[in-house]
Chain A
Amino acid sequence: MQVSMTVNGQQRTDEVEPRMLLAHHLRDTLGLTATNIGCDSTSCGACTVIVDGLSVKSCTVLALQVEGSQVTTLEGLAGEDGELHPVQAAFQSEHGLQCGFCTSGMVMASVGVLAANPDPTDREVREGLEGNLCRCTGYHNIVRAVLKAAEAGPVAGQVPQSQEVSA
């Protein structure tokens, strides 16, 4: 079946099998491999992307279910000139990663956390990231990075396509 969606600001129309998961569509059809597939069972959050302003786990969404939607992946966060998004910059400056496998999902989920709550406490960041696992257990720096990103203001909870991120 045909599916159309806007991915990182670009309109895409592709032929997919109904059982094609959004995570596979992004990676295999569109070549956007920043979105990782970890547990493949809605637990680890590595595949988190933003759909119509809300963070979702793309391993548990069919590509067909996001027909007509706005999708943002990690590739779509940086500005056109390559300037890092405040959350990306903060993960870099605070070293919010160890092996890096969870990072893409952590960054996308963090944008969602900051959209819902632009000035979170340490505890609110931890609760907001409850759906994302770091198996290196590098949580302290991740939380520090999100708190650092929040210092940039509301822009830390937005994506460049000026689409609204609400939670």
Chain B
Amino acid sequence: MIPSPFEYVRVSSVDEAVAALAEHGEDAKILAGGHSLLPIMKLRLAVPSVLIDISGIAELNYVRVDGDQVAIGAGTRHHDLENSEVAQAEVPLLPHVASRVGDPQVRHRGTLGGTVAHCDPASDLPTALLALRADVVLVGPNGRRTVPITEFFLGFFETAMEEGELIVELRVPRTGDGGWAYEKFTRRENDWPIVSAAAVHLPGGEVGVAMANMGGVVLRAEATEAALAAGKSIEEAAALAAEGTSPSADMHADAEYRSHLARVLVRRALTVAAGEAAPSTAESTAAA
């Protein structure tokens, strides 16, 4: 399968990218690692007339501490996030989840900004970023703005990005030694999650819990979070994980089974994050 013809524009700075987006309008798409965009272009699910390649923008590839947050350049590849000593020390949930994306070859190309912009409801890293209450930093024709990730994923493959904008940075709190876990249920190791759950103890004392593939976008387990904040036990809070969700049915799982998985995986993630259990292995997860 070969994508439909398109014009290719290579840019070397964020300013050039914004200018190219303004010039080419809504038919242009940003190309970074290409591991979400090129597959859907091959399937003709996306037919952009212009690709603006930002993968050469060196200033978008970094992981660094910035005040009480960790700032991660949108062009940071999963492989680099996985191996970042800053990320491992300051926000260990993220590099761990990066290591669970796809397979090594995919992680060598895919970028954090790309997976957030793509907005797939089954994505690993957006689930972790949602649990972490990340900030999404966008640059566009009207300058720079920050959108809380809780307001960023609007619907099925639909985000709060406006025309002419691109993601330049993701910002997450420094969770340090705070507990965290990511429980991902798959048939095969390199698959998308059938359901996954991220849990992380945030600096303010709140516990962030988010799930993949329980609706049209990655979702917070809001009833679980509220129950924990009200002092309920992990068992009681996890039983509410599927409240307010509308998971889809497909060849892997029906909606009822996904709801069951959500309750089980959220309970496991909370238990691991609380230091009361070891993380699941591929073998033990398969026995869910």
Contacts and interface: CB of A to CB of B under 8 A. Distances in A.
A17 interface: yes
B49 to A, nearest CB: 11
A65 B39 contact: no
A17 B103 contact: no
B64 interface: no
B111 interface: no
Contacts of B260: none
Contact of B35 (A18, A19, A24, A60): A60
A122 to B, nearest CB: 14
A154 interface: no
Interface in B189-246: 189-190
Nearest to A108: B105
B6 A19 contact: yes
A42 B53 contact: no
Interface stretch (A7-15, A51-59, A83-91, A93-101): A51-59
A61 B6 contact: no
Interface stretch (A74-82, A125-133, A138-146, A156-164): A125-133
Contacts of A118: none
B3 A19 contact: yes
Interface residues of B, number: 30
B34 A62 contact: yes
Interface in B6-61: 6-8, 10, 31, 34-35, 38-39, 42, 51, 53, 55
Contact of B5 (A17, A54, A55, A64): A17
Contacts of A116: 104
Given A18-B7, A167-B79, A61 B34 contact: yes
A65 B55 contact: yes
A64 B104 contact: no
A65 B53 contact: yes
B2 interface: yes
B103 A45 contact: yes
B108 A42 contact: no
A65 B55 CA distance: 8
A40 B1 contact: yes
Contacts of A48: 105
Interface in A15-34: 17-21, 24
A154 B74 CA distance: 33
Contacts of A137: none
A19 B2 contact: yes
Interface of B: 1-8, 10, 31, 34-35, 38-39, 42, 51, 53, 55, 79, 83, 102-106, 108-109, 188-190
Given A19-B4, A41-B1, A54-B108, 6 more contacts: A17-B5, A48-B105, A54-B79, A56-B108, A57-B105, A61-B38
Closest CB pairs A-B (n = 4): A131-B103, A18-B8, A54-B108, A130-B190
